[in-house]
Amino acid sequence: MNRDQIGIKAEFSKTISESDVYLFAGITGDMNPVHIDGLEAEKSFAGKRIVHGALVSGLISGVIGMKLPGPGTIYMEQDSKYVKPVFIGDTVRAAVEIVEVLNEKKRILKLDTKVYNQNNEVVVDGFAVVKAAEGSVGKSKNNKVSAEAFISKSAVIHEDVEIEAGVIIHDYVVIYPHTVIKKGTEIYDHCVLGKLPTSPGNTSRELKSIYEPLVIGENCVLCPGVVLYTGTQIGNNNLLGDFCSIREECCIGNNCIISRNVSVNYNTRIGNNTKIMDNSHITGNMVIGNDVFISVLVATTNDNTMGREEYNEDHVMGATIGDRVTIGAAANILPGVNIGENVIVGASALVTKNIPDNKVVMGVPARIVRDVDEPEKNVRGGVKSSVYILRPPISLLQFEMETCNREVA
C-alpha cells in the first residue's frame, strides 16, 4: 500500500428492477409505501415509486469489496448524501476512487464514493474509510481499466496499462507499462506481459531503449506462464499455450495457435490461421504465411555463421514460409531459405535451399520427391479457396531405393 495508488478508480453498473426493490424491502423490513406502493407513491414529492437509498448506496459496497481495494477489505466508515431520487428501471453506476492513504502501514484508505444515474447525474455523493487486505490494490495509477474487467488481487499491473471490458486476469500475472489488452481476452496464472528485452552486455544484437506497446487482440486465451515482450502485436482469437514465449517486435495474425513451449524470436511475422505445435523454435527475422501448420520439435535458424561474425541483418535472416505450407515433426529449416506456397516438408527433413511452390520434400538434405497435385477449386461462403490432394504416401526408404535404382539403370 503506497501513495502512488492515489487516483486508482473502479466502477460497477446495474439497472434497478422492481424485483430488486421488493427483495430489498423484504430483507430489510423497509416497506415504506414510497418504495412498494404505486398509488401511495403518486402522492409523494417524486410522483412515483423510488428505490431505497440504501439499496443504491449499497452498490458502492460491491465495488469496494470486489474491485477496489477488493476482496478482504473491511469497511470502517461510510458517509453518504442522497442528492437525487433513483427510480425503478434506472441504470446506476457506482464509482470509487482512492483519494488518500490515511495509514500506509495499516493499509487504511479514504475513498471518494459516488453513484451516477444514466444521465451521468450524481445521485449519491460521499466518502468511505476502509482497511484494505494485504496485497490488494494491484492496479497502478494512470491505468485505463474497464469496470467490466476482472483482475485477481494478486496480479501486478504497472502504470499506463489499458484493459478493456470482459478481460479476465488470473493470479500472479505481471503486466508491464503501456500494455494494451483488448476485450474478452483471458490471461491465466503467472503470465508476464510487456517485458522489455534485457542483456548484461553479452548479446551480439543491439537492443532498443524504447519499443512500441505490446497489444493483445480481442478474445485471446493466454495459458499459464506465457511471456510476451514489448513491441509485439497479437491479433484476435489466438490461443497461446503453456509457457510459450514471443519476443519483441513480432506480429501474430488472427486465429492462430502458438502451442506449449514454443519460442518465437524477435521481429518475426506470422500470418492468419497458422498453427505452431509444441516445443518448436521460430527464429528471429522470419516470415510465416497464412494457414501454415508447423508440427512439434521443428527448429529454424537464421545465422549461417553460427555467431562467428558480428550480428548484421544482411546475413542474419530466417526463412520465409509461404501460405498453406505443412512442416512435419522435427524438421530443420536453415537460414534464409524460401519455402514456396503449398509445400509439404516431411518429418525430420533438413531444408537447406529454396523450395518451389506445390512440392513435397523429404530427406537429409531435403529433396523434392514429387509435386502436390493440381488444386481443386472449392467455394466456401462465396470465396474461392484451394484444396490440394496428395498422391499416395511414399516412405523415405522407398524414395532412396527408387533413386538408387534409377542411378544404377
* Structural contact between residues 145 and 68, judged by C-beta atoms closer than 8 angstroms: no
Find which of 3-12, 92-101, 338-347 is predicted with most confidence, using mean pLDDT: 338-347
**Which CATH number, 1.10.645.10, 3.10.129.10, 2.30.130.60, 3.30.43.10, labels domain 3-131?**
3.10.129.10
Q: What is the pLDDT of residue 355?
A: 97
Collapsing DSSP to helix, strand or coil, 9 comes out as strand
Q: Is the pLDDT of residue 384 over 80?
A: no
147-168 average pLDDT score? 88
> Which has more confidence, 123 or 5?
123
Q: Is the pLDDT of residue 83 over 80?
A: yes
pLDDT in tens, 33-42: 999 888 888 8
Residue 107 grid coordinates: 493499509
What is the radius of gyration, based on Cα positions, of the chain? 30
- Angle formed by the axes of helices 53-66 and 18-28, to 10°? 90
Q: Is the pLDDT of residue 67 over 70?
A: yes
Q: What is the pLDDT of residue 66?
A: 84
Shortest CA distance to 343 belongs to which of 366, 329, 360? 360
For CA atoms 174, 280, 214, 63, the dihedral sign is negative
On whether the 144-376 domain is CATH 2.30.30.90, my answer is no
Find which of 62-76, 109-123, 379-393 is predicted with most confidence, using mean pLDDT: 109-123
Q: Is the pLDDT of residue 82 over 70?
A: yes
Q: What is the pLDDT of residue 202?
A: 76
Burial class, 330, CB count within 10 angstroms (exposed 0-12 / middle 13-18 / buried 19+) = middle
Q: Where are the domains of the chain?
A: 3-131, 144-376
> Any idea which of 8-22, 102-116, 364-378 has the lowest mean pLDDT?
364-378
pLDDT in tens, 100-122: 989 888 889 999 999 999 999 99
Cα distances from 41 to residues 21, 45, 50, 183, in angstroms, run: 14, 8, 8, 42
Task: Give the integer Cα–Cα distance in Å for 187 and 214.
Answer: 14
Task: Give the integer Cα–Cα distance in Å for 375 and 369.
Answer: 18
pLDDT in tens, 326-354: 999 999 999 999 999 999 999 999 999 99
307: Cβ contacts below 8 Å, ≥ 6 apart: 204
Residue 9 pLDDT class (50, 70, 90 cuts): confident
Residue 137 pLDDT class (50, 70, 90 cuts): low
270-299 average pLDDT score? 97
What is residue 197's DSSP assignment?
P
* Structural contact between residues 327 and 333, judged by C-beta atoms closer than 8 angstroms: yes
Shortest CA distance to 197 belongs to which of 299, 270, 265? 265
| Fold agreement (3-131, 144-376) | no
Q: What is the pLDDT of residue 402?
A: 52
Q: Is the pLDDT of residue 403 over 90?
A: no
Q: What is the pLDDT of residue 135?
A: 60
Q: Could you tell me the pTM of the whole model?
A: 0.62
Q: Is the pLDDT of residue 205 over 70?
A: yes
10: Cβ contacts below 8 Å, ≥ 6 apart: 63, 67, 68, 95, 96, 145, 147
Look up residue 131 and give its amino acid: K
Burial class, 134, CB count within 10 angstroms (exposed 0-12 / middle 13-18 / buried 19+) = exposed
